[in-house]
């Protein structure tokens, strides 16, 4: 079994879900008392969020590289960046270490392409929804054109993530707001929903929609289990 490195704490709410899902996945595969070999490096999220808001991505890259290199020194064989947003820096982080990073967008794309969905709605932080690092990768590498919410809807989703979910708060009104956004996007051609923030699975699930719902946290964790137990890197688990 390979050791999985979790670059987490962004926020710790979703990092805890990663830890649980990965261990459950190993136990399901191997049975008994088996669990995953995991090394966790956890950022101080207030510092990260402040730098995100200020657009200080150079400082954030330093934090990410520090964490990834610490994971490698600690014996990790592969790295998961436990946040969609910080995959903005994934290529630069990958260049600073010698072990593979499993890119969350590639894992999500593989799952989407197993369904009829071709134009899913992306729900995420405003960084992930607005900037091209995620949507561009989905289009250029996988031929998937993602639909964005309307601007005011993007602001609402971003606020729900940072003001509620990242602080462990799950509000029924926020769930209803996200479901209304999904219904509206369906009218613009959305044929699926990407939970493109690792906290959104605290609020939404497949049970909430008849559209295919792609939980990036669960998909990412599952891919890590597969790689850790097979010992093989596949084309869809490479960053570059």
- Predicted pLDDT at 86: 97
Q: What CATH number is given for 105-215 in this structure?
A: 3.40.50.1860
Average of per-residue pLDDT across 39-58: 97
Q: What is the CA radius of gyration of the chain?
A: 17
Average of per-residue pLDDT across 40-66: 97
Q: Is 197 labeled as catalytic in the residue annotation?
A: yes
- Predicted pLDDT at 66: 98
Average of per-residue pLDDT across 70-76: 98
Q: What CATH number is given for 3-103+217-237 in this structure?
A: 3.40.50.1860
3-class secondary structure per residue, the chain = CCEEEEEECCCHHHHHHHHHHHHHHHHHHHCCCCCCEEEEEECCHHHHHHHHHHCCHHHHHHHHHHHHHHHHHCCCCEEEECCCHHHHHHHHHHHCCCCCECCHHHHHHHHHCCCCCCCCEEECCHHHHHCHHHHHHHHHHHCCCCECCCHHHHHHHHHHHHHCHHHCCCCHHHHHHHHHHHHHHHCCCCCCEEECCCCHHHCCCHHHCCCCEEEHHHHHHHHHHHHHHHCCCCHHHCCC
Average of per-residue pLDDT across 174-195: 97
- Predicted pLDDT at 74: 98
Domains 3-103+217-237 and 105-215 alike in fold: yes
- Residue 156 structure tokens: 């609402």
| Closest alpha carbon to 221 in 105, 95, 89, 80 | 80
Instruction: Give percent of the chain above pLDDT 70.
Output: 96
Break the chain into its structural domains and give their ranges: 3-103+217-237, 105-215
- Predicted pLDDT at 231: 73
Q: Is 166 labeled as catalytic in the residue annotation?
A: no
pLDDT value at 240 more than 50? no
pLDDT value at 96 more than 60? yes
pLDDT value at 237 more than 50? no
Average pLDDT across the chain, whole number: 95
- Predicted pLDDT at 233: 54
Reported confidence tier of residue 232, pLDDT bands at 50, 70, 90: low
Instruction: Give percent of the chain above pLDDT 90.
Output: 95
Which of 128, 178, 197, 216 is the catalytic position? 197
pTM score, two decimals?
0.91
Which of 83, 85, 128, 237 is the catalytic position? 83
Tens-place pLDDT, residues 106-162: 999 999 999 999 999 999 999 999 999 999 999 999 999 999 999 999 999 999 999
Check if the beta carbon of residue 12 is closer than 8 Å to that of residue 87.
Answer: no
- Predicted pLDDT at 7: 98
Average of per-residue pLDDT across 101-107: 97
Tens-place pLDDT, residues 207-219: 999 999 999 999 9
pLDDT value at 236 more than 90? no
């Amino acid at each position: 079994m390979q050791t999985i490195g979790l670059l987490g704490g962004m926020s710790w709410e979703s990092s805890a879900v990663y830890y649980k899902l990965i261990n459950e996945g190993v136990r399901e595969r191997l049975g008994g008392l088996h669990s995953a070999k995991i090394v966790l490096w956890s950022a101080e999220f207030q510092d990260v969020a402040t730098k995100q808001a200020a657009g200080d991505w150079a400082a954030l890259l330093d934090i990410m590289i520090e964490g990834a290199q610490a994971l490698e020194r600690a014996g990790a064989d592969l790295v998961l960046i436990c946040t969609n947003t910080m995959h903005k820096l994934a290529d630069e982080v990958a260049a600073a270490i010698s072990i593979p990073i499993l890119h969350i967008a590639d894992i999500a794309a593989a799952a989407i392409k197993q369904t009829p969905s071709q134009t899913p709605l992306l729900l995420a932080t405003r960084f992930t929804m607005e900037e091209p690092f995620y949507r561009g990768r989905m289009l250029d590498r996988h031929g998937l054109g993602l639909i964005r919410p309307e601007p005011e809807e993007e602001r609402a989703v971003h606020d729900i993530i940072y003001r509620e979910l990242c602080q462990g708060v799950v509000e029924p009104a926020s769930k209803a707001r996200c479901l209304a956004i999904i219904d509206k996007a369906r009218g613009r051609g959305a044929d699926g929903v990407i939970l493109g923030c690792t906290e959104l699975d605290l609020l939404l699930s497949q049970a909430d929609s008849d559209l295919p719902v792609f939980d990036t946290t669960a998909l990412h964790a599952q891919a890590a289990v597969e790689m850790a137990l097979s010992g093989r890197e596949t084309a869809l688990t490479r960053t570059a």
